[in-house]
Amino acid sequence: MSDLSRRNLLSLGVALGLVGVTGVAPALAAPAGADPWWAWDDELDQVMATLLDTGQVPAVNTALRPWVNNNHALPTGLPTALATHLQHANALPAWADRAKLRLAADFNRRKDTYLFMLYGLGSGIMSTVIPREAKSVYWSAGGADMQDRAAKTFTFGYDLSELNAFEPGGQFVVTANKTRLVHAAVRHLLPQSPHWSAVADEQNGIPISNGDILVTFHSLGTFVHRKLVEWRVPMTAAEEDAFLHMWKVAIHLLGVRDEFIPQTWAAADAQAARVLTPILAPSFEGRELAEDLLGLTAQIDLGVTRGFLNEFVRYVLSDAIGDWLGLRRDLAAAALVRTGWPAYIAFREGLLPVMPVGFYMFDQFIRALAMLFLNNASSPTTTVITIPTGNRPG
Ligand code: HEM
């Protein structure tokens, strides 16, 4: 994003809700002696590299397939080193608070309308302007079927939001652990891709550091929280705290070291302003990914025009991002979104006595989006997370 002035950068940050309106983006130093951009998942990465190099991953995938629920026993027959890792990693951290996780689940259920919208159209499209993420997703094996890949990525947030996600009968702990295995495999595989190597700028040439995972967390949890605040969606302090707690547990399960995980929303906002906003930029891979994502939504009748969809993305993310992705303007739709969406929220939340114009249109749009994501994406009952054994061929 070298061509963006500090002013543009700040207005982008404000638009995304990641910088306070004063424009002050507080710096947050990494804890002394530790740098999340130089932290990966060393032990697991080593185990996974050996499994890939010795051709054991297809058998591991077969063994892992029936392992789905949090209370399922670990599959038998896994290579010892992997079984040892999972025995240790497949548990909530000691600091996890089940009461908070239950409150977060209830909050997610009550606010699911906005969450669909924000994870799907906000975080999902934002991931395409996070260059490292876009490039690694594009050049990994899954990049060859981008719609499937994209759907999986942007619904992770939704999977996390399932009512029983962290309960014994839920599936999120296992899903997160499988995702951690996939990321470990990607760290070994992508550096072997000439295409990825030609465009990568990662430290040490290894993708998906703890820092990168935090960036993605900010594009999901931190972004969504900021937008809910900005849109004046009623939330109690306990609910906001529970929502953060849920995300803290999630990124712990993905292998981020506890010392790097922000402890408050203020710390998360500050870290996002430092590590996410300044790196947002268009890329060839990101544009392709965005095209596929928005193409996904174009496949069904959302009850709105493509111009409306483009303007909604611009409204949720920013005009700068809309321009990077070449989203065609529709000024009438833009005006409708700007006035209609806040009124829609206010009416839904019981803060507006009269049903606003366009209420049904917004409602239909959201319902159609929810159906689309649920049908296309990895709902917890259908998720099959498979460890890749190669990269996108070209
Ligand atoms: C795979 C989620 C961070 C790159 C996956 C999968 C999930 C996921 C659910 C498995 C999808 C499947 O195959 O079924 C997340 C979450 C993150 C995160 C929740 C952070 C909060 C990142 C980051 C990068 C990344 C930071 C790169 C910079 C990839 C790649 C794959 C993958 C390349 C494998 C694609 C393939 O199948 O070939 N991620 N991810 N992820 N993720 Fe992440």
DSSP string computed for 41-59: -HHHHHHHHHHHHTT-HHH
pLDDT for 11 equals 43
Tell me, yes or no, whether 275 and 312 share the same domain: no
Tell me, yes or no, whether 194 and 47 share the same domain: yes
pLDDT for 192 equals 97
User: 74: helix, coil or strand?
Assistant: coil
Tell me, yes or no, whether 54 and 202 share the same domain: yes
Q: 40 C-alpha to center of ligand 1: Å? A: 14
Tell me, yes or no, whether 273 and 311 share the same domain: no
Give CA–CA dist 328/24, Å, rounded.
32
Amino acid found at 372? L
Question: Which residues in 278-301 are b (16+ Cβ under 10 Å) and which e?
Answer: eebbbbebbbebbebbbebbeeee
Q: 183 C-alpha to center of ligand 1: Å? A: 6
- Tokens 């990321």 map to which residue? 183
Residue 207 lies in a domain: yes
What tokens were used for 29? Answer: 């130093």
For residue 239, give the nearest of 223, 225, 257 by alpha carbon.
225
Tell me, yes or no, whether 115 and 252 share the same domain: yes
Going by the DSSP 8-state scheme, the letter that residue 327 receives in this structure is: P
Residue 24 lies in a domain: no
Tell me, yes or no, whether 330 and 264 share the same domain: no
Tell me, yes or no, whether 105 and 209 share the same domain: yes
As for how many domains the chain has, the answer is 2
Residue 323 lies in a domain: yes
Residue having the nearest C-alpha atom to atom 10 of ligand 1:
179
Tell me, yes or no, whether 206 and 346 share the same domain: no
User: How far, in whole angstroms, is CA 95 from its chain's centroid?
Assistant: 23
**Strand partners for 391:** 140
Indicate which atom in ligand 1 lies nearest the CA of residue 385. 14
Tell me, yes or no, whether 111 and 205 share the same domain: yes
Domain that holds residue 141: 42-279
Indicate which atom in ligand 1 lies nearest the CA of residue 176. 9
Q: 341 C-alpha to center of ligand 1: Å? A: 31
Indicate which atom in ligand 1 lies nearest the CA of residue 213. 26
Reported as type and span, the H/E element at residue 308 is helix 306-316
Residue 213 lies in a domain: yes
Show the ligand 1 pocket: residues with CB < 6 angstroms: 132-133, 136-137, 140-142, 152-153, 156, 179, 182-183, 186, 207-208, 212-213, 216-217, 220, 251, 254, 385, 388
pLDDT for 6 equals 35
Residue 362 lies in a domain: yes
Q: 153 C-alpha to center of ligand 1: Å? A: 6
pLDDT for 375 equals 66
Going by the DSSP 8-state scheme, the letter that residue 122 receives in this structure is: I
Tell me, yes or no, whether 123 and 235 share the same domain: yes
Tell me, yes or no, whether 268 and 363 share the same domain: no
Q: 11 C-alpha to center of ligand 1: Å? A: 29
Residue 28 lies in a domain: no
Tell me, yes or no, whether 265 and 312 share the same domain: no
Those residues with Cβ within 8 angstroms of residue 338's Cβ, 6 or more apart along the chain or in another chain: 315
Question: What are the pLDDT tens digits along the chain (394 aa)?
Answer: 333 333 344 444 444 544 433 333 333 344 455 899 999 999 999 999 999 999 999 999 999 999 989 999 999 999 999 999 999 999 999 999 999 999 999 999 999 889 888 988 899 899 999 999 999 999 999 888 876 776 666 556 666 878 899 999 888 999 999 999 999 999 999 999 999 999 999 988 999 999 999 999 999 999 999 999 999 999 999 999 999 999 999 999 999 999 999 999 999 999 999 999 999 999 999 999 888 888 777 676 777 788 888 999 999 999 999 999 999 999 999 999 999 999 999 999 999 999 998 899 899 888 888 777 666 554 444 557 899 999 999 8
Pick from 137, 201, 254 the residue to mutate for probing ligand 1's pocket: most ligand atoms within 8 Å of its CB. Answer: 137
Percent of the chain that is helix, strand, coil (3-state, to 5)? 65, 0, 35
Those residues with Cβ within 8 angstroms of residue 78's Cβ, 6 or more apart along the chain or in another chain: 60, 63, 64, 86
